[in-house]
Chain A
Amino acid sequence: SQQGEEDPQALSIQEGENATMNCSYKTSINNLQWYRQNSGRGLVHLILIRSNEREKHSGRLRVTLDTSKKSSSLLITASRAADTASYFCTHHSGTYKYIFGTGTRLKVLA
């Protein structure tokens, strides 16, 4: 399967805490992407990390990639109520057929 699997399925934290969610995959990848989806809206791209990269940052977001373990993690630091959303990973392994997992539902409590 080319599907990325996010873990945990749901996460609830207090505002100001860090949130970490993980993504595992089974095939070799060209790149891996993380997206956010607010309720009822389309997905918004967060970070794209290539297979030869190990870490990328964007504001309060940090993505790591471990190709030996076929896993990636998304860290959101100093979370805010506005970070409440579902987070998805997806990857491409040569066919440009991006398949999404079921996501991690993050709830940040004020």
Chain B
Amino acid sequence: NAGVTQTPKFQVLKTGQSMTLQCAQDMNHEYMSWYRQDPGMGLRLIHYSVGAGITDQGEVPNGYNVSRSTTEDFPLRLLSAAPSQTSVYFCASWAGGRATYGYTFGSGTRLTVV
């Protein structure tokens, strides 16, 4: 099925560990974004990309890195995990331009930092 695939679905990290959250889409979308959502809150934009090789910072980029070497993949790297990064992370992609529909979201990665 076409869509946005995020892995892993759940992860527990110790403070100071690093890891990469994977995101892949098979819809040939140019635009991809990473969001985090804390309990009872809205989504906050971490990083986004408007095409392969192009990334930019969102609202809360500190502690995270991204790269976009291919159209399909947009991994999010946590450099040194902190308890404040405990959250649900969503990846999303969008065709952009004249698309009549919006972002397609993945099902999320639930991250706990202890």
Contacts and interface: CB of A to CB of B under 8 A. Distances in A.
Interface of A: 33, 35, 41-45, 48, 88, 90, 96-103
Contacts of B43: 43, 88, 100
Interface string B71-110: 0000000000000000000101000100111111111100
B107 A42 contact: yes
Contact of A97 (B41, B48, B100, B101): B48
Given A96-B96, A97-B58, A43 B103 contact: yes
A59 B43 CA distance: 26
B107 A101 contact: no
Nearest to B51: A96
B31 A42 contact: no
28 contacts: A33-B102, A33-B103, A35-B102, A41-B108, A42-B90, A42-B105, A42-B106, A42-B107, A43-B90, A43-B105, A45-B102, A45-B104, A48-B99, A48-B101, A48-B102, A88-B43, A90-B102, A96-B31, A96-B50, A97-B45, A98-B45, A98-B103, A99-B58, A99-B59, A100-B35, A100-B42, A100-B44, A102-B42
B56 interface: yes
Interface of B: 31, 33, 35, 41-45, 48, 50, 56, 58-59, 90, 92, 96, 99-108
Contacts of B106: 42
Contacts of A102: 41-42
Which 8 residue pairs are nearest across A and B when measured between Cβ atoms? A42-B105, A45-B102, A102-B42, A33-B102, A100-B43, A43-B105, A100-B42, A48-B102
Contacts of A100: 35, 42-45
Contacts of A98: 33, 45, 48, 103
